[in-house]
Amino acid sequence: MNLFHFLDLAAARYPEKPAVICGEDQRTFRDLKIRAVQLGAALLQMGIKKGSSVAILSTNSVAYVEILCALTKIGAPGVPLNVRLTQSEISWILARMDIQAVFCETNLLDSINYLLGLPQPHIITLGSSDEYEGIPYEELFCRSIAADNFPIVSERDPSFIIFTAGTTGEPKGVVLTHGNHIWNTLNYTAALAMTPADIELAPTPLFHSSTLGRVFTYLFNGTTFILCKKFDPAESLSIIQRHRVTAITQVPTMYQMMLDVFDDKMWDTRSVRRAVSGASCMPVNIKERLPLLFPGAGFYDIYGITEGGPGITVLTAKDFFPARDSVGKPMLSVEVKIADCADQPCDPGQVGEILCRGPNIMQGYINDSVATSHALRGGWLHTGDIGWFDDEGFLHISGRKKDIIISGGINIYPREVEAVLNRHPAIKECAVIGAADALWGEKVSAAVVLKENHSCTQQELIGFCKQHLATFKCPRSVIFLQDLPRNAAGKIMKAEIKKLF
């Protein structure tokens, strides 16, 4: 079996049903299959064979989904690229890959203009451009090509190579197989009780591992999904009302932005029955306000990592508020344990590294056997995240292993301090880091963003923390920012914040 099988089934069962919508563009399941098969045949004719890597540099679009499906049909691993990367960052990634073709949105061609004019890779342009040469995307559908000689693609073959955000070092290319994504699909379907009746808004970028993986979950379930070319909270609320959206998956920052503009007299969101968060831990103060946004919804929080396909644990609707400080329990096919520095299991309540294994876990990092062996040692994926299980089996995240603050030889977990700061009525969001200190090695420091029309001082926040935390855990310095630096996946870039101290 391979991922294209999901589209085969959906096209047979729901041929006239909308599969994907983006702005004014949309495809039914049948039309999506037809165009994906045509595109796959055209790529084969161009010499893009099974095993050939194909990069995609584009914002969300229906064409992007067609490309993903076509690549799974011919067994060519897709390499989705973050559109916010610089030319040097993109060239760094492509230099480590034998890329045979690049699908590129025309307004992003400046990022790969050094490739134009070279015999390889093929440059296929999405949109019109008089300035650059390349193969126009729609031209591939005008060719008369036999579409009956496709390679056999199995669950063991690579499906996508997704580069990590590089928040803690150089990006690494995570190799996921069709089998990894099939299990991720089954995990998400079971965790979220997805059905063909769902209409899901998916405003996050397709180059993100979670959004990309969910495309195939939508196809498997015959679910209509709606993409946003660029996230806008007001427009997303309008889409929910216009299409009677029943489900939404996005990052905590997007929920915060929706809450900032929401007015129940302007938007009717009662159709939403499931609201899912992921990519970073949602602060409790946002969780508590979600019912204002979606009064008829059940809420879910997913912990994942690109190397995990990405889903690892899920906090389901029935536990969302009772266990609000956790990220839930392991998904269907995933085994999770907490281990100490010697990889020995930790007892409930004891903090250690989060390890996981299962058929959804990556095969390794592309062209990096050393990093692969280190990450998968002992048959377990070492996530680099720190956490603990409580007595009821709920997983709690303490932070990244590399983000632990060591002050005077004592470990301090940033997430614990952030949880307290987020309870202050003036704070919209915050990030806690360890700033260099000559005496203590590191000192707890915080960057905060205040809510509109609120004010607060450094001393007030430090005093607030002292009411809830041991003194050694409290920030010694606080800076106030308009926004926290983030990557395109919505994750806070703590390395950039450290530079401010």
Distance, CA of 102 to CA of 109 (rounded, Å): 10
Residue where a domain stops, chosen among 342, 375, 400: 400
Number of domains forming the structure of the chain: 3
* Torsional class of 127: left (φ above 0), alpha (ψ -120 to 50), beta (otherwise): left
CATH of residue 281? 3.40.50.12780
Are 173 and 97 spatial neighbours (Cβ–Cβ below 8 Å)? yes
Q: Quote the pLDDT of residue 144.
A: 62
Q: How far is CA 31 from the centre of its chain?
A: 27
Give Cβ neighbours of residue 61 (< 8 Å, ≥ 6 apart): 22, 25, 105, 126, 227, 229
The CA distances from residue 452 to 142, 246, 289, 425, 449, in Å, are: 53, 30, 17, 11, 9
pLDDT along the chain (501 residues), means of 10: 97 98 97 96 94 97 98 98 87 90 93 77 86 86 76 97 74 95 98 97 95 98 97 97 97 90 93 93 87 96 95 97 94 97 94 97 96 96 95 92 85 89 94 90 94 94 93 94 81 89 91
Give Cβ neighbours of residue 188 (< 8 Å, ≥ 6 apart): 194, 213, 214, 217, 311, 331
Residue 472 covered by a domain: yes
Sheet strand arrangement including 224-227: 25-28, 18-22, 224-227, 199-202, 247-250, 274-277, 298-304, 311-315, 329-330
Residues 370 and 477 in one domain: no
Which residue, 250, 201, 203, 215, is CA-closest to 65? 215
Helix (H) or strand (E) holding 464: helix 458-466
Q: Mapping DSSP to helix (H, G, I), strand (E, B) and coil, where does residue 345 land?
A: strand
Q: Quote the pLDDT of residue 488.
A: 60
Q: Give residue for tokens 């990220």.
A: 327
Residue 458 covered by a domain: yes
Residues 429 and 476 in one domain: yes
CATH of residue 98? 3.40.50.980
β-pair type (298-304, 78-80): unpaired
Distance, CA of 41 to CA of 66 (rounded, Å): 13
Q: Quote the pLDDT of residue 264.
A: 85
Q: Quote the pLDDT of residue 36.
A: 97
Which pair of tokens denotes residue 206? 């397709």
Q: Is the peptide bond before 121 cis (omega within 30 degrees of 0)?
A: yes
Distance, CA of 117 to CA of 120 (rounded, Å): 8
Are 431 and 447 spatial neighbours (Cβ–Cβ below 8 Å)? yes
Q: Quote the pLDDT of residue 120.
A: 77
Residues 393 and 435 in one domain: no
β-pair type (395-400, 405-407): unpaired
Distance, CA of 355 to CA of 99 (rounded, Å): 32
Residue 188 covered by a domain: no
Amino acid occupying residue 262: F
Residues 160 and 242 in one domain: no
Q: Give residue for tokens 């595109």.
A: 39
Distance, CA of 212 to CA of 142 (rounded, Å): 27
227-230-232 Cα angle (round to 5): 100
Which pair of tokens denotes residue 405? 């603050």
Distance, CA of 328 to CA of 147 (rounded, Å): 45
Give Cβ neighbours of residue 170 (< 8 Å, ≥ 6 apart): none
Distance, CA of 258 to CA of 262 (rounded, Å): 6
Residues 257 and 362 in one domain: yes
Residues 383 and 257 in one domain: yes
Residue where a domain stops, chosen among 365, 400, 435: 400
Give Cβ neighbours of residue 107 (< 8 Å, ≥ 6 apart): 127
Residues 18 and 133 in one domain: yes
Q: Give residue for tokens 């203590």.
A: 440
Residues 105 and 47 in one domain: yes
Q: Quote the pLDDT of residue 129.
A: 67
Residues 308 and 339 in one domain: yes
Distance, CA of 127 to CA of 210 (rounded, Å): 26
Residues 60 and 93 in one domain: yes
CB atoms within 10 A of CB 322: 11
* Torsional class of 134: left (φ above 0), alpha (ψ -120 to 50), beta (otherwise): left
Residues 100 and 235 in one domain: no
Domain of residue 40: give its range.
4-177
CATH of residue 433? 3.30.300.30
Q: Quote the pLDDT of residue 441.
A: 87
Strand partners, 397: 387
Residues 169 and 64 in one domain: yes
156-158-161 Cα angle (round to 5): 150
